[in-house]
């Protein structure tokens, strides 16, 4: 039987072992194919110190929501039927309606993890006619101001 001691450098083994014991830093890079950018994203300009600003105003209302949630979004009526649906979110409508119905009394948004980097945000939106459920696929949880923007956009 051959001894492995002759093949190993003791200092290198100690260095590797100490690296294994060090805490791993949190991953800051997003995985390839990250859905947080829309399909119209062209990249960052490395040579330009400041970004060019568009003279056109940002779309508001439902058009603004479509642009923001390019991965998919939908709006369901009180019976769970789609008023509008776009992108990948169409597959998740029945699940969304079941969750929205089960949390109807709380009138709070619900977040469901759908894969490693994405969530389905469900936001109940009350209108004079009825209660609707807005659903969108997001890569980061929506904060209170984003939820208010959604409610304002759907109220238009």
pLDDT digits (tens, 9 = 90+) for 21-70: 887 666 555 555 555 555 555 555 544 444 444 555 667 777 788 888 87
This model's pTM is above 0.75: no
pLDDT at 42: 58
Strand partners, 120: 112, 137
Token couple for 123:
């936001």
pLDDT tens digit string along 81-106?
Answer: 888 888 877 778 877 777 766 765 66
> Which of 122, 30, 31, 28 is closest to 72 using CA atoms?
122
Sequence-distant (≥ 6) Cβ neighbours of residue 140 within 8 angstroms: 36
Whole-angstrom distance, CA of residue 74 vs CA of residue 92: 9
Domains and CATH numbers, the chain: 61-155 (3.30.450.30)
Token couple for 11:
């200092």
Token couple for 68:
């923001």
Whole-angstrom distance, CA of residue 117 vs CA of residue 102: 25
* DSSP 3-state of 63: helix
The distance from CA 116 to its chain's CA centroid, rounded to whole angstroms, is: 10
Whole-angstrom distance, CA of residue 51 vs CA of residue 44: 8
pLDDT at 65: 84
> Which of 66, 62, 60, 72 is closest to 121 using CA atoms?
72
């Amino acid at each position: 039987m051959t001894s492995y001691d002759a093949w190993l450098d003791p200092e290198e083994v100690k260095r590797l072992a100490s690296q294994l014991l060090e805490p791993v830093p949190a991953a800051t890079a997003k995985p390839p194919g990250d859905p947080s950018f829309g399909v119209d994203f062209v990249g960052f300009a490395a040579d330009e110190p400041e970004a060019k600003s568009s003279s056109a105003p940002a779309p508001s209302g439902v058009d603004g929501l479509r642009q923001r949630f390019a991965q998919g979004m939908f709006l369901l009526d009180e019976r769970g039927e789609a008023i509008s649906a776009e992108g990948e979110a169409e597959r998740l409508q029945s699940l969304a309606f079941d969750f929205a119905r089960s949390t109807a009394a709380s009138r709070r948004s619900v977040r469901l993890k759908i894969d490693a980097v994405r969530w389905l945000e469900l936001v109940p939106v009350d209108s004079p006619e009825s209660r609707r459920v807005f659903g969108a696929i997001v890569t980061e949880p929506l904060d209170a101001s984003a939820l208010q923007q959604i409610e304002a956009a759907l109220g238009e």
